């Protein structure tokens, strides 16, 4: 079995990659993909901790299932809004969506 700390380091790297993507990507869809990377790190953590603590209770696994479901709903909504913005301004780049500032 893989030791817990190795899984945590792995998910930490995954989360950091997600944060890096969120901060550097300009395309709204790429930002969403980076958020998904962060959520994957979260799910890895939940599953690892769940197995580590009490596998019979499956609390960590249940949490991960909820996270996946809610994230799917959020992404669906996000794509709808991005689609509308693209139709209005023919761009999905967040640095060009800047009517509101300062």
Would you tell me which residues interact with another protein (CB under 8 A)?
Answer: 15, 18, 22, 28, 31-32, 35, 38-39, 41-42, 45-46, 48-49, 52-54, 59-60, 62-63, 66-67, 70, 73-74, 77-78, 81-82, 84-85, 88-89, 94, 97, 99-101
Three-point CA angle 54, 8, 62, nearest 5°: 40
Minimum distance of another protein from residue 96's CB (angstroms):
10
Distance (Å, whole) CA 92 – CA 75? 15
Cα 67 from chain centre: 10
Distance (Å, whole) CA 19 – CA 24? 9
DSSP string, 39-59: HHHHHHHHHHHHHHH-TTT-H
């Amino acid at each position: 079995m893989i030791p817990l700390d190795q899984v945590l380091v792995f998910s930490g790297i995954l989360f950091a990659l997600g944060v890096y993507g969120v901060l550097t990507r300009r395309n709204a869809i790429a930002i969403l993909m980076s958020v998904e990377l962060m959520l994957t790190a979260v799910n890895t953590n939940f599953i690892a901790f769940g197995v580590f603590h009490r596998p019979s209770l499956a609390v960590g696994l249940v949490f991960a299932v909820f996270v996946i479901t809610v994230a799917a709903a959020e992404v669906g909504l996000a794509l709808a809004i991005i689609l509308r913005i693209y139709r209005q301004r023919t761009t999905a780049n967040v640095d060009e969506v800047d009517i509101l500032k300062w």
